């Protein structure tokens, strides 16, 4: 039997046929066209699912389930997606609509970060663990909790929003309406913001050279590259970033205490340079000093995680 995984993003929709071990056997993608009404987008999504079934010469009864990751949440009781801001969806009956195209096939929907974390716990770095927390460090900060091998989104489906845990009360204003959310300090956006703020006072910094004195060209990588070369400003920005990331990670350890914490998203491409610094920064903050605690690792599945994890929703 096979599983279909669908990863719906603001710009593209990816779908794949996935085996029970979380390996993608066949994959296609289309533009989301999120500027169109939901009623048109869902037709394309269903069409994409049919296309990969046909593309692998499968019959519909070889598909165990369809799982879908969305940049939002889905009410587990009603199958309604209350809103996906990026897609302009509001109160859409997604699961019922998918059933019109694929009657008799179970359809599952969950948050895209949740789904990426599930993928790592089935076929990635956290495979074999029973509990894990996946933290996506990208434009924002997403979170995914797996407990007892299953994705955990809480009682109302609003949990695992690790990025909106406040780590600095009265700190940087967040899009969510609060101030000082983890996302404001641990995202790529945060690194870029801090570099742009500091650069005017540090024209000598290697960051200025790397971005050709154009702050609009600063990326998270720019800061990391300069920090690797021991540029003083970049090292300071990097250390501040690591400190904030470590605080969020320690909050996860002190509350959820998973077996493993997985760092994914664009920022995690900084690799071992970032990972080693984060592990060192976490160590002194551990509450029970002599007890074991979560290992911290980098994600392995990259951009396939969305399709794999969505498919694995159907296996749970």
Convert residues 259-278 into a mask of x (bound to its own copies by CB under 8 A) and - (unbound): x-------------------
Q: Which is nearer to its own copies, 64 or 251 (CB)?
A: 251
Q: Binder to its own copies among 117, 142, 143, 306 (CB under 8 A)? A: 143
- Residue 239 is a binding residue for its own copies (CB under 8 A): no
Measured CA to CA in angstroms, residue 182 lies from 3, 142, 168, 293 at distances of 34, 10, 8, 21
CB of 88 closer than 8 Å to CB of 282: no
- Residue 162 is a binding residue for its own copies (CB under 8 A): yes
Six-digit token pair at 38?
Answer: 């939901």
- Residue 177 is a binding residue for its own copies (CB under 8 A): yes
CB of 207 to its own copies, least distance (A): 24
CB of 250 closer than 8 Å to CB of 160: no
- Residue 284 is a binding residue for its own copies (CB under 8 A): yes
- Residue 131 is a binding residue for its own copies (CB under 8 A): yes
Q: Which is nearer to its own copies, 52 or 245 (CB)?
A: 245
Six-digit token pair at 106?
Answer: 């179970």
- Residue 73 is a binding residue for its own copies (CB under 8 A): yes
> Partners of 65 in the beta sheet?
3
Q: Which is nearer to its own copies, 66 or 70 (CB)?
A: 70
- Residue 243 is a binding residue for its own copies (CB under 8 A): yes
Q: Alpha carbon 265 to chain centroid distance? A: 6
CB of 211 closer than 8 Å to CB of 162: no
CB of 74 to its own copies, least distance (A): 11
Q: Map the footprint of its own copies across residues 14-33, applying CB under 8 A.
A: none
Q: Binder to its own copies among 176, 198, 235, 275 (CB under 8 A)? A: 176
Q: Binder to its own copies among 64, 86, 130, 269 (CB under 8 A)? A: 130
- Residue 186 is a binding residue for its own copies (CB under 8 A): no
Q: Binder to its own copies among 137, 233, 256, 310 (CB under 8 A)? A: 256
- Residue 280 is a binding residue for its own copies (CB under 8 A): no
Please name the residues in contact with 289: beta carbons below 8 A apart, sequence gap of 6 or more. Answer: none
Q: Which is nearer to its own copies, 49 or 281 (CB)?
A: 281
Q: Which is nearer to its own copies, 81 or 311 (CB)?
A: 81
- Residue 225 is a binding residue for its own copies (CB under 8 A): no
Please name the residues in contact with 91: beta carbons below 8 A apart, sequence gap of 6 or more. Answer: 80, 81, 82, 83
Query: Does an H or E element contain 91, and which?
Result: strand 89-92
CB of 165 to its own copies, least distance (A): 5
CB of 100 closer than 8 Å to CB of 79: no
C-alpha span between 221 and 299 (Å, rounded): 17
C-alpha span between 6 and 67 (Å, rounded): 6
Task: Name the residue among 93, 125, 132 with its Cα closest to residue 109.
Answer: 93
CB of 279 closer than 8 Å to CB of 296: yes
Measured CA to CA in angstroms, residue 37 lies from 8, 71, 89, 94 at distances of 15, 16, 8, 13
Provide the binding-site residues for its own copies, judged by CB under 8 A. Answer: 73, 75, 82-83, 130-131, 143, 145, 147, 152-162, 164-171, 176-178, 180, 185, 243-244, 247, 250-259, 284-285, 287-288, 290-294
């Amino acid at each position: 039997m096979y599983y279909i995984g669908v990863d719906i993003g603001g710009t593209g929709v990816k779908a794949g046929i996935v085996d029970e071990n979380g390996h993608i056997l066949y994959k296609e993608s289309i533009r989301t066209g999120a500027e169109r009404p939901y009623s048109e987008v869902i037709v394309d999504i269903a069409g994409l699912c049919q296309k990969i079934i046909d593309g692998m010469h499968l019959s519909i009864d070889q598909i165990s389930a369809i799982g879908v990751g969305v940049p939002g949440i889905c009410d587990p009781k009603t199958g309604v997606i209350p809103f996906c801001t990026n897609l302009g969806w509001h109160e859409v009956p997604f699961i019922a609509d998918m059933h019109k195209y694929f009657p008799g096939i179970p359809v599952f929907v969950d948050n895209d970060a949740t789904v990426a974390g599930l993928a790592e716990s089935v076929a990635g770095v956290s495979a074999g663990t029973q509990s894990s927390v996946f933290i996506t460090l990208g434009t924002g900060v997403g979170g995914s909790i797996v407990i007892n091998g299953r994705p955990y989104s809480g009682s109302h489906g609003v949990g695992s929003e690790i990025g909106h845990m406040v780590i600095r009360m009265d700190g940087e204003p967040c899009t969510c309406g609060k101030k000082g959310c983890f996302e404001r300090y641990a995202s790529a956006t945060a690194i870029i913001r801090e570099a742009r703020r500091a650069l005017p006072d540090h024209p000598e910094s290697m960051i200025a050279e790397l971005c050709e004195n154009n702050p609009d060209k600063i990326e998270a990588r720019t800061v990391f590259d300069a920090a690797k070369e021991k540029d003083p400003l970049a090292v300071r920005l990097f250390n501040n970033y690591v400190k904030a990331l470590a605080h969020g990670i320690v909050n996860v350890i002190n509350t959820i205490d998973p077996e493993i914490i997985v760092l994914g998203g664009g920022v995690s491409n900084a690799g071992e340079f970032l990972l080693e610094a984060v592990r060192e920064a976490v160590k002194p903050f551990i509450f029970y000093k002599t007890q074991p605690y979560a290992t911290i690792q980098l994600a392995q599945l990259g951009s396939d995680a969305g399709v794999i994890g969505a498919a694995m929703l159907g296996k749970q």
